[in-house]
């Protein structure tokens, strides 16, 4: 196994890679590329190990082909808004981006040209999608692909609920039964039919690919759920970050070993009366599932080597004020 480790870090004003050449013993921050707007989502390509994409809210889409040393703005992307991004798991040149008003664009040539999934906006429930602020509109907050079937896609809409496609994005259908204010969607390769969703009111889980949903907030002291992710090799091992409200007041970080039926507070990480150290993004290492990385609102990076039980801060000083997006990349 390669000794090289690579994290892609999206911040409020820039994006960079943090790398280790000795399996995590030491770490180095690579040069940061300034952003005109905050990072929203990152995706590392499994088919092209040095490639990753960044969605930067009102600054469009960026791509790196050298492991995060340089990032190029994709001027061809047809709108300024980019809230979510997803690299195809096996097709190196295919990437999906979620926009505002809620729409999904696909590129089959690495972002040189784009086409919109017309069937997405054709969902009958789309007339009910919207947003809290009158000056904004609904947007695709997260995009995911089923680990066992790249034709099955999931889109989480803020605010509009969950929508899925079983034919690679040609047609879409609404998945009712959960809160409509979606923040994060996650699936585990261990049990691809299990879908976890973080919403403004609580986390949810479906064990039948989104047909039925179960509320999984037993033991959580906060309701506002920002991020959720299950271990790639254990769908019942789940991490979640919560707070009292959208201002991220009194954040907490929890761990579950039974699919969210019960939760245990992770001491010393992502807690406090203010949001300075709230865990806002985390990602499991797909090659070493016992490792998981987390980034905080205060610009700190943490690593767990025991599946989220204990954590240590990485010796990296980010120049920006917050970690907004994080993805583990290939060597």
Q: What phi-psi label fits residue 320: left (phi over 0), alpha (psi between -120 and 50 degrees) or beta?
A: beta
User: How many domains does the chain divide into?
Assistant: 1
Q: Which whole number is the average pLDDT over 99-118?
A: 98
Share of the chain above pLDDT 70, in %: 97
Numbers of helices and strands, H then E, in the chain: 1, 29
Domain containing 262 equals 5-329
Residue 242 pLDDT > 60, yes or no? yes
pLDDT at 148: 96
Q: Which of 293, 284, 89, 320 is nearest to 186 (CA)?
A: 284
Compute how many other C-beta atoms are within 10 angstroms of the C-beta atom of residue 208. 10
248-182-231 Cα angle (round to 5): 85
* Residues 285-317: tens digit of each pLDDT: 999 999 999 999 888 999 999 999 999 999 987
Residue 330 pLDDT > 80, yes or no? no
Residue pair 214/195 in contact by the 8 Å Cβ criterion: no
* Residues 195-212: tens digit of each pLDDT: 999 999 999 999 999 999
| pTM of the model as a whole | 0.96
Q: For residue 242, count CB atoms less than 10 angstroms from its CB and return exposed for 0-12, middle for 13-18, buried for 19 or more.
A: buried
Structure tokens at 132: 């809290």
Q: Which whole number is the average pLDDT over 73-102?
A: 97
Q: Which residue has the higher pLDDT, 2 or 130?
A: 130
Choice among 14-28, 70-84, 100-114, 162-176 with the minimum mean pLDDT? 14-28
Spatial separation of the C-alpha atoms in residues 158 and 297, rounded to whole Å: 21
CA distances from 213 to 6, 156, 178, 184, 229 (A): 35, 14, 6, 15, 16
Mean pLDDT of all residues belonging to the chain: 94
- Give the CATH number for residue 304: 2.130.10.10
List phi, psi (to 5°) of 125. -70, -5
pLDDT at 271: 75
């Amino acid at each position: 196994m390669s000794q090289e480790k690579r994290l892609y870090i999206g911040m409020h004003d820039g994006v960079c890679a943090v790398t280790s050449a000795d399996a995590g013993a030491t770490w180095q921050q690579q040069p940061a590329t300034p952003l005109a707007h905050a990072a929203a989502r990152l995706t590392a390509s499994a088919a092209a190990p040095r490639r990753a994409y960044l969605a930067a809210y009102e600054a469009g889409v960026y791509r790196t082909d050298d492991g995060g040393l340089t990032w190029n703005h994709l001027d061809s992307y047809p709108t300024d808004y980019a809230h979510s991004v997803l690299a195809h798991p096996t097709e190196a040149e295919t990437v999906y981006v979620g926009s505002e008003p809620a729409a999904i664009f696909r590129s089959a040539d690495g972002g040189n040209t784009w086409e919109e999934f017309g069937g997405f906006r054709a969902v009958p429930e789309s007339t009910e999608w919207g947003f809290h602020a009158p000056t904004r509109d609904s947007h695709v907050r997260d995009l995911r692909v089923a680990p066992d079937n790249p034709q099955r896609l999931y889109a989480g809409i803020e605010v509009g609920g969950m929508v899925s496609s079983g034919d690679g994005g040609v047609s879409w259908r609404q998945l009712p039964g959960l809160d409509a204010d979606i923040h994060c969607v996650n699936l585990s390769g261990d049990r691809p039919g299990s879908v976890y969703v973080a919403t403004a009111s609580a986390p949810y889980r479906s064990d039948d690919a989104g047909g039925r949903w179960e509320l999984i907030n037993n033991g959580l002291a906060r309701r506002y759920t920002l991020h959720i992710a299950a271990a790639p090799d254990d769908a019942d091992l789940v991490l979640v970050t919560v707070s009292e409200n959208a201002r991220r007041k009194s954040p907490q970080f929890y761990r579950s070993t039974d699919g969210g039926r019960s939760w245990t507070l992770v001491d010393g990480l992502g807690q406090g009366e203010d949001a300075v150290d709230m865990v806002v993004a985390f990602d499991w290492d797909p090659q070493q599932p016992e490792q998981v990385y987390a980034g905080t609102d205060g610009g700190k990076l943490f690593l767990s080597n025991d599946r989220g039980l204990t954590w240590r801060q990485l010796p990296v000083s980010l120049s920006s004020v917050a970690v907004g997006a994080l993805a583990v990349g290939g060597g």
